[in-house]
Every structure is written in C-alpha cells, then in structure tokens.
C-alpha cells in the first residue's frame, strides 16, 4: 500500500529536550516536505527536499532541522523544542513537477504527529 508513515503519532515533551519525528514514504517520490497545522492558519511549510541531500527552508523553518540522506526518509528534528512548537505536524511527498511534464504535484500526506511541548 502506497503510504507516508510518521512516528510518533503523539508526543508530549518538555522544553529543550531534543526530539525527532520520522517520516518514510514507499512511493519512490523525490519531493518531500514538512508542514505544521495550527487552527486558523492552515498548513504552513517548514522545510522541503527536492531530492536526496537537497533541502531548503519553507515559510516557518525557525527551530527546526531536517536531513535527507535517503530518498524514502525525511526526519524532522527539533533541537531545543519550545512551547510555540506545540502543533500538528504533517510529512508529505510527491513526484516533482518538471518542465514539459504535466504532473500535478499532488501531495500525499502522512496521518500527522501531534506534538505538545510543556
């Protein structure tokens, strides 16, 4: 089954305790991205990766790190979490849209990781 898998699904932690949210996809997608979802703000992009070893900042990258050492995995790292990073996090993947190829860029999302930082 084609899917994006995130872990953990739920996490409560304390300020300053480093944590990693893992993301893995089995669709051989080059493009992967992390979003956070907050009420009234929709989904905002944190980081994205066009391919292995290629990552770039999204709209709200402060306080987060990512790495893309393998095509299927794209972990999100919070080095020193703070309460304002309490949110619902989504990993997503897609095929890249390329010139001359009418791909849609449809994003496939994981089921989300709800993080609470006390």
Partner 1 sequence: QQQVKQSPQSLIVQKGGISIINCAYENTAFDYFPWYQQFPGKGPALLIAIRPDVSEKKEGRFTISFNKSAKQFSLHIMDSQPGDSATYFCAPLEYGNKLVFGAGTILRVKS
> Which parts of this chain interact with partner 1 (CB under 8 A)?
4, 31, 33, 35, 40-45, 48, 50, 58, 90, 92, 94, 96-97, 99, 104-112
* CB of 35 vs partner 1, minimal distance in Å: 8
Q: Which is nearer to partner 1, 77 or 88 (CB)?
A: 88
Q: Which is nearer to partner 1, 79 or 111 (CB)?
A: 111
Q: What does the alpha-carbon distance between residue 55 and residue 66 come to, in Å, rounded to a whole number?
A: 8
* CB of 34 vs partner 1, minimal distance in Å: 12
* CB of 93 vs partner 1, minimal distance in Å: 10
Q: Which secondary-structure segment (H or E) carries 38?
A: strand 31-38
104: exposed, middle or buried (Cβ count in 10 Å: 0-12, 13-18, 19+) = exposed
Decide: helix, strand or coil at residue 84.
Answer: helix
Q: Which is nearer to partner 1, 9 or 17 (CB)?
A: 9
| Residue 105: DSSP 8-state | -
């Amino acid at each position: 089954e084609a899917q994006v898998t995130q872990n953990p699904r739920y996490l409560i932690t304390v300020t300053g305790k480093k944590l990693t949210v893992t993301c893995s996809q089995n669709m051989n997608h080059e493009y992967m991205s992390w979003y956070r979802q907050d009420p009234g703000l929709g989904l905002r992009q944190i980081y994205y990766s066009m391919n292995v070893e290629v990552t770039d900042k999204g709209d709200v990258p402060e306080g987060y790190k990512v790495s893309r050492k393998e095509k299927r995995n794209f972990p999100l790292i919070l080095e020193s979490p703070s309460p304002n990073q309490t949110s619902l996090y989504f990993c997503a993947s897609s095929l890249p849209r390329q010139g001359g190829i009418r791909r849609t860029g449809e994003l496939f999302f994981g089921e989300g990781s709800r993080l609470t930082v006390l």
